[in-house]
Chain A
Amino acid sequence: MSFNPKHILGIKDLSADEINFILDTADSFKEINTRDIKKVPTLRGKTIVNLFFEASTRTRTSFEIAGKRLSADTVNISASSSSVVKGETLEDTAQNIEAMHPDIIVMRHSASGSCDYLAERLNCSVINAGDGTHEHPSQALLDAFTIRQHKGAIEGLTVTIAGDITHSRVVRSNIYCLKKLGAKVRIAGPRTMVPPGIEKLGCEVYYNLKEAVTDADCVMMLRIQRERQGATLIPSVREYARYFGLNEEKLKLAKKDAIVMHPGPINRGVELASAVADGSQNVILDQVENGVAVRMALLYLVAGGEKLQQD
């Protein structure tokens, strides 16, 4: 099959075949990351702008390395050094960047829908590196890639995602991705952190982490934003850890060979007990490693084909 996306804005609009094509492509790129000379000329002459309106060392670095290993020229623009502080609108900022003819803009922004907004208004390709609490497609793809690596296939697996579901773009993208690939998805969190109608995305909702992890093949813990404690959502990090943190005892309820994932950065002792974070079941560093290969695949796929000349 051939897959020539102009943009990667979310998982929602991708088919299972397209997702698998991305993962297979990533598989091929993964080998480059273990070479002495970690570079191929695939995107030579292409310019990639990493436009980050929110701090994100991990995702930005991953995209930057991915671009560089494909020989693209990558430029990082972060909100602090951009014109945003001068009150420029997103459209104006983007048009200014586009006037410099980048081929791909990788954007992280705090507003849900901002990548769709950008894609509607620009000619270059847009890759969503996380928009508000909407989608984070590259994270979901690297998660699927990591699960596939450890479990062989995703179909038929039970994946539990726990934490602040309401404020997580990772959750939404992961539910779409894992459902399309045939997994059963459970989500878990305190009721204050589970948004209404989330089950319509195709997941089962739990308010008890022990029940949610029972017999799971994969447990994905989300980062709790410490600043949310003491607000209206949770009384304290301490209480959160007690009921919704993953410790060895709760992990024992999952399948023996269950893997533990986390999009990072981890709050040790909050959503993940140190013993679990350092345990043999965690594949968190594999996620980070695979992130580069998956992002190489995304950059390759949006850069190819004749669509860059179109519209």
Chain B
Amino acid sequence: METETIEILDNDGINRALTRIAHEILEKNKGSEDLVLIGIRTGGAYLATELHKKLTQIEGQDIPLGMIDVTMYRDDLASRNNLAVGQTDISFPVSNKKIILVDDVLFTGRTIRAAMDAVMDLGRPQNMQLAILVDRGHRELPIRPDFIGRNLPTARNEQIEVDFDEKNIPQAVFLLRS
């Protein structure tokens, strides 16, 4: 079957969305005190890196950045082939921090549930907030993003693809319809 590819965001669009999210994060948290960024591997980790650059630029000081792999926390181990387990790399304590979880696409919410569990196993954060680039709907868990790049209602059989270049810089967001 033909697959129809529709560009939702281009490089500039992503950039603008991330800049806006950065400002919203700082506004909502009244600055960057106790703020830490945790990207969910793999797409969320790349986006977190970009968001981190922007926050550092705006605030003029470094905000801790970590990556988390949620494979070990997934709820579908028995129903799929093994996924490679990625590295979790969080070199700072999370207790009493304001955690900004970053992911690229929010869909059922199961990945975010896994990520929350993963972070909670590392300590007791002050709070957790969720930043995502595209919210495509179809939630299966009571999870709501705090910062959204683009709301994009989709059909269930459609796919959202975020393209990154070889330096892991986000280039575009596509809607694939088959």
Contact = CB atoms under 8 A, between A and B. Distances in A.
- Decide if A and B touch, CB cutoff 8 A: yes
B1 interface: no
B121 A27 contact: no
B82 A305 contact: yes
A82 interface: no
Interface string A295-309: 001001101111011
Interface in B74-126: 74, 77-89, 117-118, 121-123
B125 to A, nearest CB: 14
Contacts of B83: 2
Given A40-B72, A41-B73, A42-B73, A29 B81 contact: no
Contact of A29 (B78, B85, B117, B123): B85
Contact of A303 (B74, B77, B79, B81): B77
Contact of B72 (A1, A36, A42): A42
Given A28-B69, A35-B122, A41-B72, A2 B81 contact: yes
B74 to A, nearest CB: 8
A304 B87 contact: no
B80 A304 contact: yes
A28 B73 contact: no
Contact of A37 (B69, B71, B122): B122
A117 interface: no
A42 B77 contact: yes
A301 B89 CA distance: 21
A21 interface: yes
A21 B79 CA distance: 20
B117 A305 contact: no
Contacts, number: 70
Nearest to A31: B88
B113 to A, nearest CB: 11
A28 B118 CA distance: 14
Size category, A interface: 20 to 34
A27 B84 CA distance: 11
A268 interface: no
A43 interface: yes
Q: Which among B83, B87, B122 has the highest number of chain A CB atoms within 10 Å?
A: B87
Contacts of A36: 122-123
Contacts of B72: 28-29, 32, 40-42, 70, 300
Contacts of B87: 27-28, 31
A35 B84 contact: no
Given A28-B69, A36-B123, A1 B117 contact: no
Contacts of A308: 78
The 9 tightest CB contacts between A and B, nearest first, are A28-B85, A304-B82, A40-B72, A42-B72, A2-B81, A305-B81, A25-B85, A304-B77, A28-B87
Interface of A: 1-4, 21, 24-25, 27-29, 31-32, 35-37, 39-43, 70, 297, 300-301, 303-306, 308-309
